[in-house]
Amino acid sequence: MSKPKNPLEPLERAHEEEYFHRQDQKLIEQMRDKLAREQAAADIKAETGLADEALLGRLAALGVKKETIPVLHLMPLVQVAWADGEIQAGERELLMEAADSTGVTGESRAALEAMLEKRPSDEYFDAALSFIRHMVAALPEGEGEKAKENLVDLAWRVADASGGVFGLWGRVEDSEKEALRDIAQKLTDSNADAAAKLLRKL
């Protein structure tokens, strides 16, 4: 005598098929994300000449792509502007001026505007500083140190903008000074003399 058929078998089979379908979709999405990150990393490398594969991977994983590379150069300024927990009107104005003067348009401009509404992660700031350090290191001798000094000076102006009057560095809050020190240190972490020179400004 044959065993009675399980009336729940079709339902169980359907659930099983649905489960495997979801797993397949998840794997497909993971593969697409992986390929997209690899393509973004390759595009950044081709655009900038950056050879550090680990850093390329970090940037791609954080959502950086060829079109948004220009905004990376403004990240120290954005980091300082967010140091006290909010973007002041004067800081926003200076950041927009910096964006105009450095040709931050299109997707990069949209990315910057979004970052002025929602603070980027510490990981994003750190990756951007590492990127800037690599780019500056590739400049001819003398130009790199000047670029670092100019960047820190501009970051000072952004920090001071919250006080409303440029040049009065005493207005810069402790949280902003700490962000400036962090930026100066990371930009020159392989050069003690350069680090000391920049940190003396703070």
pLDDT given at position 160: 63
> Could you tell me if 141 and 169 are in contact, meaning their C-beta atoms sit under 8 angstroms apart?
no
Give the residue, 155 or 169, on which the prediction is more confident. 155
* pLDDT tens by residue, 71-85: 998 888 898 889 888
Burial class of 62 by CB neighbour count within 10 A (0 to 12, 13 to 18, 19+): middle
* pLDDT tens by residue, 5-17: 666 666 666 666 7
Which pairs count as long-range contacts for 176-184, CB under 8 Å and 24+ apart, including other chains?
176/80, 176/83, 176/84, 177/202, 178/83, 179/79, 179/80, 179/83, 179/155, 180/80, 180/152, 180/155, 180/156, 182/79, 183/76, 183/79, 183/80, 183/129, 183/151, 183/152, 183/155, 184/148, 184/152
* pLDDT tens by residue, 37-62: 899 999 999 998 888 999 999 999 99
Domain ranges of the chain: 9-61, 64-200
- Portion of the chain with pLDDT greater than 70, in percent: 65
Judged against a pLDDT cut of 60, whether residue 26 lies above it is answered with yes
User: How many Å apart are CA 93 and CA 87, to the nearest integer?
Assistant: 10
Judged against a pLDDT cut of 70, whether residue 106 lies above it is answered with yes
Q: Mean pLDDT across the stretch 30-34?
A: 80
Judged against a pLDDT cut of 60, whether residue 172 lies above it is answered with no
User: How many Å apart are CA 102 and CA 96, to the nearest integer?
Assistant: 10
173's tokens: 């809050």
- Of 93, 116, 110, 70, the residue nearest 162 (C-alpha): 93
Judged against a pLDDT cut of 60, whether residue 170 lies above it is answered with no
* pLDDT tens by residue, 144-156: 566 666 666 666 6
Judged against a pLDDT cut of 70, whether residue 166 lies above it is answered with no
User: How many Å apart are CA 159 and CA 27, to the nearest integer?
Assistant: 45
Averaged pLDDT of the chain: 77
Q: Mean pLDDT across the stretch 101-122?
A: 92
- Count how many Cα atoms sit within 13 Å of the Cα of residue 163 in the half-sphere of its side chain: 16
Residue 131's SS3 state is helix
Residue 27's SS3 state is helix
Give the residue, 99 or 158, on which the prediction is more confident. 99
Is the pTM here over 0.85, yes or no? Answer: no
